[in-house]
Structure 1
Amino acid sequence: MTPVSSPSPHGQSPLRTVQVLGGGNAGSSAHVRSLAAGLVARGVRVTVCAPLDADHTYDFTGAGAEHVHVPRSSDPASVAVLRAACTGADLVHAHGLHASFRAALALGGRGTPLVVTWHNRAHAEGARARFLRLLERRVVKAAAVVLGTTSDLVDRARRAGARDARLAAVALPGQRTPVERDDPDRLRPKIRAELGATGRPLLMAVGSLDPQRGYDVLLDASRAWRRLDPVPLVVIAGEGPLRQVLQRRIEEEGLPVRLIGRRDDVAELLASADLALLPSRWESRSVLAQEALHARVPLVATSVGGIPELVGDAAELVPAGDAEAFADAVVRLLTDPERREQLKEMGLRQAATWPTEDETVAQVLSIYDELTQARPFA
């Protein structure tokens, strides 16, 4: 059912926006859900164009938006569905490169303002990398405003020719306060026992099992921890194409690492850990980094992408791809309880500087107002 919007000021008809998602990683999908809820609460009519499974997972309709199923494809039929959904919209906001490209095709120069948010960047080499750069140039040429979730994504958009590129305010959606969470001290022993980490340090990593995440480097680093007593256990929550490769290495090399697949209780798992690990080759606004700092879990991460500006000095940062540096940082923290406590407090202070969901919606709405000032009156 399409939600009924609140009356708009000055007699204008309610603003109607279309939010476009492609495959949508967890961060961008959760962002769109949060954005939809905030916009609807402010009287904006919101349509979310996304695959059906995305609505099942993120419940855009539960946020008050209308959902239109658009497959993960740029074929003519999918573009036609998207074009129909965008008809009559005051503004279209696409999230991610491929969703932005489809939105540009669907709008076809009809004059509807297009806002694009880049949450991440694709990783490719050779011909595919050249193809993605062409897509980027096509998208930024069509967009009135490009929002990047990190400074380097903003710079990338400008290099691609964006006429207006800005740093996006992006909150960590649905962040619960300590009062609202289940008591971590009560759950901690149970979770650690389930994972096999009773009486030994628990090191937690979360993310899809793909090359970008740097889990091959994490496995290399874990060799150094076998000399510790007790031996720390590394637990990786996530699924992906490297599952079999990583599992084979763990078994053949006898590494103290467990792959536990995709989990719905990541916040609870993280709150039970002694350290959070982020060995990625590139990240934007890492959800794991944000969750770790909020949960007062010391973080060891690579100094890549948007990580340094996100965490500041509230984490141990090491070069990407350097297994020895990563292992050394972990060992130092495990043997230095004072430093761990310091990072916990610094993490909370750093998290307090991040945008709230209200601030995120306010920034987006101000951009929408800039681009739709000439809308007709009701």
Structure 2
Amino acid sequence: MPTTAEPAPPTPFTADDYRARMARAARSAAEAGLSGLLVAPGPDLVHLTGYQPVTTERLTVLVLVEGQDPVLVVPALEAPDAGRAPAAPALKLRDWTDGKDPYAVTAALLEGRGRFGISDNAWAMHLLGMQRELPGTTYTALSDALPMLRAVKDAHELARLEAAGAAADEAYREILQVRFSGRKESEIAADLAALLLRFGHAQVDFTIVGSGPNGANPHHEAGDRVIAEGDMVVLDFGGLRHGYGSDTTRTVHVGEPSAEEQRVHDVVRAAQQAGFEAVRPGAACQDVDRAARAVIDDAGYGAYFIHRTGHGIGVTTHEPPYMIEGEERPLVPGMCFSVEPGIYLPGRFGVRIEDIVTVTESGGRRLNNTPHDMAIVR
């Protein structure tokens, strides 16, 4: 039987790609009234440099100041790895050895005063060290100062997200073929994880399997509950492929659903469609939430939709922008986020349907394309 060849991996990002990202970040910081950015290991550093060191107590930080060359401060023992980072040709390295003060090394790159953006996941000990070394400086979280730093994807990023979504879709199609009844949630979760890896994911971030009453907990951890005939089962899973995330949810049923279960699923499916149809350039993020929520409210289940309608996705599976009431930031082409309304009836069951969507010039485009109908499993 012929097999489908694995698609060729995407073209790697180049040093020029990272140079442009760092320049754009420094420029955005200056426009936001910041003196510069301090980027710690984590998703922002990966996005800006492709460098992903092990996070330890030793200071690693990327210093971005408009008009200056980007500088990566690293422990001397990690300098060889940093020198092989994809962005290395676009960076200057400043290493420091154990016994020396890394904050003094970093401070020498700054003006001594000013307000700097710093990665949300920077360690407190490093922030306090900088404040001690430069008492004239103040700091603000990057998610507050530049929430859209990673929000708008270029064509190469979109291709990676599309490939991740397609792989998650394949995992869903395959999981429908396994037996659910009589097996533990944790066993189905393990099957999902194996399928994500089989279809090209390098990392599995989560495999939520919420059966029966556990489905009413949106972030239920798959456990030892044995799935039974008559259970609704929420399947929410994703991870990273080629460095970019997947995240999709479908709700299935073991055997034929009751009339109420089918109705709730139909309402969520209509809400998901309404949220998707609200995606267009210039619409506010909150408009997507409002469109999905209105369907659920009108059906009488508003009190049971207990989370935002969506979150951004990229090098992490949760990042800005967020589809939530009060978020008035406009949608622009290249943004990618989930549309995932749900209804959760405590002690009984839950339903959620989730696709990753990207904004195009004319509306929205789904990166998940499996059916939204309630699948019947055995």
Shorter-chain TM-score: which interval? 0.3 to 0.5
User: 1 or 2, which has the higher strand percentage?
Assistant: 2
Normalised by the length of structure 2, the TM-score is 0.37
User: 1 or 2, which has the higher helix percentage?
Assistant: 1
Normalised by the length of structure 1, the TM-score is 0.37
